[in-house]
Amino acid sequence: MDDSTYREIAELALNGSGQHIPPTKSYLIESRLGPILRREQFAGVAELLACIRARPSSPLGGEIVAALTSKTTHFFRERAAFERIVNHVLPMMAPSAPGGKLRIWCAGGSSGQEAYSLAMLIGESENEALKDIQVEILTSDISEKMSARARSGKFGHFDVQKGLSIHRLLSNFSRLDTGEWQVSQDLANRVGVRTHNILQDCSGLGVFDVITCCNVIGGMGSQMRARALVNLARQLSDSGVLVIGKDETATGLVTGLEPSRDLRGAYCREVTPGALTAAA
């Protein structure tokens, strides 16, 4: 792949998903686009790019953007944060939950392991504050392929070996004839799935009490990171919290989004949704 092809694909990724792919990681382009190249029988990335130039409105362009994002995830990847959400944040919010309902959105949730992990923790909780509370969980990803996997609730043996205890596996999954593991109906009923790009307006998804966006913004360019955070923060309820990855930060990126006093590593909206702006 020559330099001009790299630059054009990298710009496509940045504008489409916010992902910054530096020259030192250009190998990720060929690796992540490999399945599309083989399926469409293109000789290489340059040929794929020529097709996109010729058909700029083709759905293939969006598929390429989605394919270039990281899909790395596993069950209970952010275990400490999830446990704090279920054991501390949700019980604190429960007494004032409108209609006895709380909403969680796992933004950039890949194939759904994050959402299903939260659903398992909520199902296991014995906290009296959550006894009569309905917790609705939504997971979304820019990739329709990942959303379809999350919606199916089917995971390979390698997937369930990462992060799941034997007890949780046997309690929440059943083994299929294919060798895959299927989430239980109870778990599936707790999780909704949407395909969505967090760089775009999120108002159609509604308002949430907890939004997790873990290990997503870290790979974005700074301007796109702020844009995504503004979109996410606008969907927080007045007392809602935004949780990002333990190695990520939102500090100084958005005016009106401040560190939470109740949950380490989380952020709260301190202004009205319309007043949130990317910091200068």
Write down the residue that tokens 């399945």 correspond to.
35
Residue 126 lies in a domain: yes
CA 157 to chain centre: 22
- The residue behind tokens 């083994």 is 175
| Residue where a domain stops, chosen among 67, 90, 107 | 67
Domain ranges, residue 231? 79-278
- Dihedral over Cα of 103, 252, 227, 234: its sign: positive
Nearest to 214 by CA among 143, 268, 266, 259: 266
Q: Residue 15: pLDDT above 80?
A: yes
Retrieve residue 141's tokens. 């990803």
**What's the pLDDT score for residue 57?**
74
Contacts (Cβ under 8 Å, ≥6 apart) of 94: 102, 129, 130, 133
Same domain, 20 and 110: no
Q: Are residues 83 and 184 in the same domain?
A: yes
Tell me the C-alpha distance between 222 and 228, whole Å.
Answer: 10
| Per-residue pLDDT tens over the stretch 165-214 | 999 999 999 999 999 999 999 999 999 999 999 999 999 999 999 999 99
Distance of CA 142 to the CA centre of its chain: 8
pLDDT over 90 (residue 59): no
Tens of pLDDT, residues 252-279: 999 999 999 878 889 999 999 999 999 8
Tell me: do 19 and 156 sit in the same domain. Answer: no
**Could you tell me if residue 265 is inside a domain?**
yes
- Using CA atoms, how far apart are residues 199 and 201, in angstroms rounded to an integer? 7
Q: Where are the alpha helices (H) located in 107-254, listed in sequence order?
A: 113-124, 144-152, 157-161, 166-172, 185-190, 222-233
Most confident of 53-67, 103-117, 253-267: 103-117
Which of 18, 45, 67 is the endpoint of a domain?
Answer: 67
From 20, 37, 67, the end of a domain falls on 67
- Counting the structural domains of the chain, the total is 2
Both 19 and 118 in a single domain? no
